């Protein structure tokens, strides 16, 4: 038994207009939890993060807190790049669905993914 599952998706070659669309991020963060059977605890937040003249040229950062944990999206439109985290305390995350979903939403040409089982030593009962 493990506590939860964490999928990270790094997307490459995405459509600049889609990656630079605040409303698209809000729509994703409002709709995706219900598609996964999860419950939103707080309204999604999307803010613009300015570049730092180093490796980060700026982009949108979005986050939604769900009862099962969180989903975050960080876009870098000028680089055609997006960094996504989907973390859930529920097991059985549909990784194939999520990868396909984000590929379509941002018109990604390539993805790099990591899947992590979290809390592999999570206690089966209360300790205190």
Structural domains of the chain, with CATH? 4-84+99-112 (3.60.90.10)
Average pLDDT, the chain: 96
Question: Shortest CA distance to 86 belongs to which of 76, 74, 98, 75?
Answer: 98
pTM over cut 0.85: yes
* 83 labelled catalytic: no
Catalytic, out of 34, 69, 70, 83? 69
- Helix, coil or strand: residue 84: strand
72 is catalytic: no
pLDDT given for residue 54 in this prediction: 79
In sequence order, what are the beta bridge partners of 118?
A: 4
Question: Can you tell me the distance from the alpha carbon of 37 to that of 93, in angstroms, rounded to the nearest whole number?
Answer: 10
**Structure confidence at residue 18 (pLDDT):** 98
Task: Identify which of 14, 41, 18, 16 has the alpha carbon closest to the alpha carbon of residue 28.
Answer: 18
Query: Could you confirm whether 70 is annotated as catalytic?
Result: no
Q: Which residue among 70, 72, 83, 89 is the active-site one? A: 89
Give the model confidence (pLDDT) of 12-50 as tens digits. 999 999 999 999 999 999 999 999 999 999 999 999 999
* CA separation for the pair 24, 55 (Å, rounded): 24
Q: Report yes or no: 23 and 31 within 8 Å, Cβ to Cβ.
A: no
Task: For 64, list phi and psi in degrees, rounded to 5.
Answer: -135, 130
Torsion from C-alpha of 49, 80, 31, 3, nearest 10 degrees: -80
């Amino acid at each position: 038994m493990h506590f939860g599952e964490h999928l990270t998706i790094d997307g490459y070659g995405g459509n600049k207009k889609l990656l630079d669309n605040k409303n698209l991020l809000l729509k994703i963060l409002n709709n995706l939890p219900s598609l996964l059977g999860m419950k939103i605890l707080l309204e999604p937040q999307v803010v613009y993060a300015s570049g730092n003249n180093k490796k980060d040229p700026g982009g949108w950062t979005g986050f939604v807190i769900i009862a099962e944990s969180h989903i975050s999206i960080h876009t870098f439109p000028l680089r055609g790049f997006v960094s996504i985290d989907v973390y859930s305390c529920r097991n059985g995350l549909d990784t194939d669905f999520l990868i396909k979903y984000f590929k379509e939403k941002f018109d990604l040409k390539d993805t790099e993914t990591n899947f992590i089982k979290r809390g592999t030593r999570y206690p089966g009962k209360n300790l205190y």
